[in-house]
A and B are shown apart, each in its own frame.
Chain A
Amino acid sequence: MAEVLVLVKVADGKVNKATLEALTIARALGEPAAVAVGAPADVVDTLGEYGATKVYVADAPELNDYLVAPAVTVLEQLVREASPAAVLIPSTQEGKEIAGRLAVRLDNGVLIDVNDLAADGTATQVVFAGSAIVKSKVTRGVPLVTVRPSSVTPTTAPVTPAVVPVAVTLSDVDKAARVVERVVEAKGARPELTEASVVVSGGRGIGSADNFKLVEELADLLGGAVGASRAATDSGFYPHQFQVGQTGKTVSPQLYIALGISGAIQHRAGMQTSKTIVAVNKDPEAPIFELADFGVVGNLFDVVPQAAEEIRRRKG
């Protein structure tokens, strides 16, 4: 069976969930071969647990000084040498950029944000704010795709991977953009927004940065992440990295709760594929109710504290 290359994305020193999802998809297409660039050594165990029969490892200290170039260079080398059946990259901003550069180097088509990839190379994508489903194919080169987070549920298939070191030589162009500083901002104990199974988001209706405590409280009671509409981030109620929607994150949790969010199409673009949607809004005409499985028409400052209290009571 041909190899299926899966680029490994590490967050907080661990293999992120999107990578495990990509490995799960890869198993249906061939032999998953993970590609770890500048990652900590212990990621190999996790990758094996999720079915990577091989792990290509490129780890020189300088690799982390550059943005996408090291991963592009390693993948280019491997595609040329290993003739893989497909290349899967987790669809973060960085992942998409790696895919784009790689596509040019190999003169190979690329499909962004796919939800699934079939054995015959047909990719499924949800486009236009979740209103259309498209099936596409790469018609030049190998199927090179970025996999949208939360597309599948990762499952384990333990193997002991063969570790294959890869040497990388970066060109001058690869070194043209240099990372001079990486600042980690405290994100607390909440799960990552794009990976969380529960997301509680607040909109303009929350009214102030201080009131966002209400959103956080409900999120914490449900073990979820906090999101925000653009009106909320633009008003400074909550930091921009938590924005959900067309120009923010795309989330697809089991449960999405929208508090004081009207449901503009650009917001829906980022949360429409959530499994269950719940909305609290005082305006019965708010478009968010058109897609909510459960909606409460009411003042969120009454409804949310009462719900929080009730959850605490039930938890005992």
Chain B
Amino acid sequence: MNIVVLVKQVPDSSAERTLRSDDNTVDRESASNVINEMDEYAIEEALKLTEAHGGTVTLLSMGPERATEAIRKGLQMGPDSGVHVVDDALAGSCALATSKVLAAALRTLSPDLILCGAEATDARGQVVPQMVAERLGVAALTGTRKLTVDGTSLTAERQTEAGYEVISASTPAVVSVWDTINEPRFPSFKGIMAAKKKPIQTVTLADLGIAADEVGVAGASTAVVEHSKRPPRAAGTRVEDSGQGGQALVEFLSSEKFV
């Protein structure tokens, strides 16, 4: 079973994130960047599947030059190789354009299974997996917390508001995973050394037959017209509990008409 895992480099969510003042796009230069956390769960699931069923794991990422760091980092966990779609024209791509590029790259790789994170922490879109599946004309099993593969048949369990659902489909398919699916392994020393020598193929838009004006800021289907910092919340009253903390709390709730 040949698996491609989609990985995205995102600004670290524990650090301050900003938008650029010139073109209102996510500032990816000054941010400290990491591999999108949920994508690590997708890599782990891919490794587990190939350990059980055989096959290869390829990481695919679209992003600026420095996104190779995310691919290299992911390779430390054990995948075989990486593909990096990089092109100056891609800067500022909307989700529609991103899915077009990823789908085009996936067609050249023709995997049995495409695994990805359920959402990226930067824009929190949760749309790319469905968009890629739609473009490829395959099923999408999203937000998966448990995945079972039996030959070409896939069964996924996912949490819903009311409980959970079990969904089935056949390969090829896109499966997006939630962070409840597994516990990603830490790279071993051997894994870190091995990752340095693993191949990462660089692919341009021309290689994929996509014109520069279909993507990036030029081809974007949405635009940010302005952005501002939200005023930080001001801290309010704070009391030390010296025996009456609970009563003070209720007094506050009552003054705000909650009790």
CB distance A132 to B135 under 8 Å?
A: no
Does residue B99 face the partner (Cβ distance < 8 Å to A)? yes
Please report the C-alpha to C-alpha distance between residue A101 and residue B99 in the assembled complex, in whole angstroms.
Answer: 11
Instruction: Report the stretch among A25-33, A108-116, A153-161 that lies at the interface.
Output: A108-116
Contact with A along B147-169 (1 / 0, CB 8 A): 00000000100011111111111
A221 to chain B, nearest CB (A): 8
Does residue B55 face the partner (Cβ distance < 8 Å to A)? no
* In the complex, residue of chain A having the shortest beta-carbon distance to the beta carbon of B154: A177
With A138-B222, A266-B13 already in contact, the answer to whether A278 and B252 are too (CB < 8 A) is yes
Please report the C-alpha to C-alpha distance between residue A137 and residue B223 in the assembled complex, in whole angstroms.
Answer: 5
A305 to chain B, nearest CB (A): 7
Does residue A140 face the partner (Cβ distance < 8 Å to B)? yes
B118 to chain A, nearest CB (A): 8
CB distance B254 to A289 under 8 Å?
A: no
Q: What chain A residues lie within 8 Å of B236 (beta carbons)?
A: 292-295
Does residue B200 face the partner (Cβ distance < 8 Å to A)? no
CB distance B237 to A97 under 8 Å?
A: no
With an 8 Å Cβ cutoff, the count of chain B residues facing the other chain is 86
CB distance A126 to B241 under 8 Å?
A: no
* Those of B119-141 within 8 Å (CB) of chain A: 119, 121, 123-131, 133-135, 137-141
B221 to chain A, nearest CB (A): 3
CB distance B230 to A133 under 8 Å?
A: yes
Does residue B246 face the partner (Cβ distance < 8 Å to A)? yes
With an 8 Å Cβ cutoff, the count of chain A residues facing the other chain is 92
Q: What chain A residues lie within 8 Å of B145 (beta carbons)?
A: 240
* In the complex, residue of chain B having the shortest beta-carbon distance to the beta carbon of A93: B143
CB distance A177 to B168 under 8 Å?
A: yes
Q: What chain A residues lie within 8 Å of B224 (beta carbons)?
A: 134-136
Residues of B within 8 A of A (CB): 13-14, 16-19, 24, 37-38, 94-96, 99, 118-119, 121, 123-131, 133-135, 137-143, 145, 155, 159-170, 173, 178-180, 220-230, 232-233, 235-241, 244-250, 252-254, 256, 258-259
